[in-house]
């Protein structure tokens, strides 16, 4: 049986050009390795802030690579090149607004500029796509807030089951 596959998509003009190191993507991988007890394969890419490129990569990761979970980092602010939410919205079938709402509410505990954030999440077939901000500290704060719901969401959409290490990340599943 193949391992569940998780896509990590760091969206950054400068990181994709080699100007910045890829700290956001690596922060996501480190959190997943700490939180999950389920072994998984990674589909990992760094791409520029380009709506067409982002949408195409999300489709490839979901439809071709078979990722059950895709996590994007970056491109969620109000700047002209920040187009991750638009690219995501173009490829998802169902938006899950609670993810973005919780991430913004969580970020407001740290910075008043959280209201400028445009993270969102949604499903494409059997794939959950979650947009995170681009800074490692904000990635941790936001991902930690929404991750408890992710394993059950994956169950509901028919993706591979992910189990967490309850000592560091408690996920919620209804009692059966």
CATH number at residue 31: 3.40.980.10
Token code pair at residue 126: 């059997």
Predicted pLDDT of residue 17 = 84
Q: Is residue 169 in some structural domain? A: no
Q: What percent of the chain has pLDDT over 90?
A: 92
Task: Specify if 170 maps to a domain.
Answer: no
User: Of 50, 40, 42, whose CA–CA distance to 25 is shortest?
Assistant: 42
Domain assignment of residue 164, yes or no: no
- The domain tally of the chain equals 1
Q: Is the pTM of this model over 0.95?
A: yes
pLDDT tens string 80-104: 999 999 999 999 999 999 999 999 9
Q: Which residues of 158-168 are buried (b: 16+ CB within 10 A; e: fewer)?
A: ebbebebeeee
């Amino acid at each position: 049986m193949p391992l569940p596959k998780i896509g990590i998509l760091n969206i950054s003009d400068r990181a994709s050009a080699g100007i910045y190191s890829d700290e956001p993507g690596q922060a996501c991988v480190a959190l997943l390795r700490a939180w999950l007890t389920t072994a998984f394969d990674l589909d990992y890419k760094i791409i520029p802030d380009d709506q067409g490129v982002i949408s195409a990569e999300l489709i490839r990761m979901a439809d071709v690579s078979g990722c059950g979970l895709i996590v994007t980092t970056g491109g969620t602010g109000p700047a002209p090149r920040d187009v991750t939410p638009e690219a995501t919205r173009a490829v998802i079938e169902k938006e899950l607004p609670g993810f973005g709402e919780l991430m913004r509410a969580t970020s407001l505990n740290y910075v008043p500029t959280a209201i400028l954030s445009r993270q969102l999440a949604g499903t494409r077939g059997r794939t959950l796509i979650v947009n995170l901000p681009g800074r490692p500290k904000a990635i941790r704060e936001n991902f930690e807030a929404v991750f408890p719901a992710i394993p059950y969401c994956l169950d509901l959409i028919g993706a591979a089951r992910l189990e967490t290490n309850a000592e560091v990340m408690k996920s919620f599943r209804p009692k059966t």
